[in-house]
């Protein structure tokens, strides 16, 4: 005979409850405290600190712009330039900080809302896969690459917004999902890849159709993200020391590439600096000459 509670064999049936072993009878009698039942624990939701910080900084910059008198819906060109928008004659004239600052400046609340919603949807997963600091560096590097691509294509255009960096982290995420051996079910990975590719195609198609979207910046950010993500994907499952060493080398190489690209863009589009100076020296020069 076996105990109906624990399954132990029962050899002594002289007790009244012959279907329980002595240990279980003692537990029921209160002499032995049974182990408390295990209650399922809920995993705390992941809170992405870098994505949250980037989102907050973008909103903070926009709020400061509005409080300083900039229109929340249709800011003027000179106002955008004052806050760091990318513009060839100024950026290539020595203000290279604009290649990064412009990624935190937005042209109206609708522009900000769309970009921040996209950042929250995509950034959380990308940050979790690559890690905080690597994700922050990818976001920054691809944003600069997007600004430089815009300057190469049309240096006389005023460009601003986080969309170049957003395309960059989308590219890095696509590369990681495609090339990295991530602990996700393959069907889920394929669905995510399909959705991301559709998002890229739709957004680039929309940008080409409407004309006022800076598609060259989007393409530059995307290509930079794909390249960086493809290299980093190989080390996603390596031990932390090896992964850290490789990522340091990757970002040193990225910094050198961005420096070289910046020098090439300055040589290619440097004519914009002189043209802008000539326009500013014209007696009729005003905002319309930008």
List the one residue out of 271, 263, 260 whose CA is nearest residue 156: 271
**Of 147, 150, 159, 163, which one is the catalytic site residue?**
163
Q: Is 268 a catalytic residue?
A: no
Q: Is 218 a catalytic residue?
A: yes
**Of 102, 147, 150, 218, which one is the catalytic site residue?**
218
Phi and psi at residue 159, to the nearest 5°:
-130, 140
Active site residue ranges = 163, 218
């Amino acid at each position: 005979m076996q105990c109906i509670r624990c399954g132990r064999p029962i050899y002594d049936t002289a007790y009244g409850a012959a279907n329980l072993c002595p240990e279980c009878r003692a537990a029921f009698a209160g002499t032995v405290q049974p182990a408390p039942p295990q209650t399922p624990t809920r995993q705390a939701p992941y809170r992405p600190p870098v994505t949250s910080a980037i989102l907050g900084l973008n909103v903070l910059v926009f709020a400061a712009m509005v409080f300083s008198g900039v229109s929340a819906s249709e800011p003027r060109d000179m106002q955008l330039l004052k806050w760091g928008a990318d513009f060839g004659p100024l950026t290539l004239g020595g203000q290279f900080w604009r290649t990064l600052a412009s990624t935190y400046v937005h042209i109206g609340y609708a522009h900000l809302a769309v970009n921040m919603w996209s950042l929250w949807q995509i950034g959380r997963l990308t940050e979790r896969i690559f890690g905080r600091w690597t994700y922050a560096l990818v976001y920054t590097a691809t944003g600069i690459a997007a600004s430089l691509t815009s300057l190469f294509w049309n240096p006389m255009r005023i460009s601003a917004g986080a969309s170049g960096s957003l395309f960059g982290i989308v590219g890095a995420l696509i590369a990681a999902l495609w090339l990295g051996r991530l602990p996700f079910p393959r069907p889920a990975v394929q669905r995510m890849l399909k959705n991301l590719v559709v998002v890229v195609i739709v957004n680039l198609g929309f940008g080409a159709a409407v004309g006022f979207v800076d598609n060259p910046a989007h393409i530059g950010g995307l290509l930079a993200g794909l390249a960086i993500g493809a290299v980093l994907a190989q080390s996603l499952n390596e031990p932390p020391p090896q992964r850290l060493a490789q990522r340091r080398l990757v970002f040193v190489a990225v910094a050198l590439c961005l420096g070289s690209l910046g020098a090439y863009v300055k040589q290619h589009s440097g004519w914009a600096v002189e043209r802008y100076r000539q326009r500013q020296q014209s007696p009729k020069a005003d905002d319309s000459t930008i």
